[in-house]
A = this chain, B = another copy of it.
Amino acid sequence: MTKQVYAVILAGGSGSRFWPASRTQRPKQLQPLGPGDGTLIEQTVQRLLPICSAERMLIATGKHLVEATRKILPGLPETAMLAEPQARNTAPCIGWAAERVARIDPDAIVVVVPSDQYVAKPEAFTDALRRAIDVASTGVVVTLGIKPTRAETGYGYLHAGAAEAGVNELRAFKEKPNRKTAERYYQSGEYFWNAGIFVFPAGLMLEHFNVCLPKMGESLAALRAAAKQGADAEERAVADFFANAESISIDYGVMEKIGAKGQLKMVPADVGWSDLGSFQTAWELSEHDARGNAFVGDVEQVETSNSYVLDLRSGRTGLTALVGVEDLIVVHTDDATLVARRDRCQEVKQIVEALKAAGRTDLL
């Protein structure tokens, strides 16, 4: 029998590498970044619709983002929002989501995906997820392994083992490698990018929590018991759960541990995936003119190359004129303009820190 499929979209990130586009109240996933249409979270929902109906999508996000997120996704039911009272990394919210689904159907398959990634080939992505769902339906946890297209040092890797019927054993999770190691990974063909996409039966994940994070597993059981006493009790229990939960990623907390025991499989996926981690990546993914420029907005240039302009101002009435510059990123919002060297745009985080230190919350 085909299992029911639920999607859990992780939408709690702050995306400070995308300041000034990304803001506390409207972070990266709620912004129209990258080459796709609409906000990243809308693109994520669209991508998942072929394998999961809107009624079975859950959006795990911060309490302060629930309203803004709901507005962007009016097609989802009221109950879709899992509002995290506190940011506690990914393990607690995935545990909570698994518990919510398992309560309805412990055999249902849960697909966990980040909300702020870019996928160039959505159909190939759907196909890969379908294979992962099939594998997960046999009672294992599955992760997608993204086939590398370059020796990237900015991603974590999955070391794949033996393959059978399009599914690999998973030997190990690997941290972001240095340049030399990344080259070796890429040449070997045995390493895949870890996109943080996991597929598993809901009940099975709770069992893994009980083993790998027993305290959190216990709390999840308490949460279920409280939920039986009504909505108010559940709400209090959720607050309690997050207040006391360890802040830990699902990778460290569960996946690496079950991987080491051979309880995690990998489905390789060649889907044009990108974590869209910075404006640098956004520029890379964009269509370029002959000089390597990508412009979104009203731009004139003289002898400018390999540069990126992104005008996100509400009116978008202003001209941006570039003269003799190269490898530059210019981002306009209504209240701020970022001008950064393209290969250093990750350091925009330091601007965010400086603004925090100066108490300039209006710009955060």
Seen from chain A, the residues whose Cβ lies within 8 Å of a Cβ on chain B are 19-20, 300, 302-303, 317-325, 328, 330, 332, 334-341, 343-345, 347-348, 350-351, 354-355, 360, 363
Contacts and interface: CB of A to CB of B under 8 A. Distances in A.
A325 B340 contact: yes
A322 B347 contact: no
Contact of A323 (B318, B319, B334, B345): B345
Contacts of A336: 318-321
A347 B303 CA distance: 9
B300 A321 contact: no
A254 B317 CA distance: 47
28 contacts: A20-B319, A300-B351, A302-B347, A302-B351, A302-B354, A303-B347, A318-B334, A318-B335, A318-B337, A319-B335, A319-B363, A320-B337, A320-B339, A321-B336, A321-B337, A321-B339, A321-B340, A321-B348, A323-B338, A323-B339, A323-B347, A323-B350, A323-B351, A324-B343, A328-B328, A328-B339, A330-B337, A339-B339
A320 B350 CA distance: 14
Contact of A325 (B318, B339, B351): B339
A85 to B, nearest CB: 31
Nearest to A313: B318
Task: Give 5 nearest A-B pairs by CB, closest first.
Answer: A324-B344, A323-B340, A324-B341, A319-B336, A302-B350
Contact of A354 (B300, B340, B360): B300
A347 B324 contact: yes
A343 B360 CA distance: 33
Contacts of A340: 321-325
Contacts of A338: 321, 323
Given A19-B321, A302-B351, A322-B339, 14 more contacts: A303-B347, A318-B335, A318-B336, A319-B336, A319-B355, A319-B360, A321-B336, A323-B339, A323-B340, A323-B345, A323-B348, A324-B344, A324-B345, A328-B328
Nearest to A354: B300
A323 B344 contact: yes
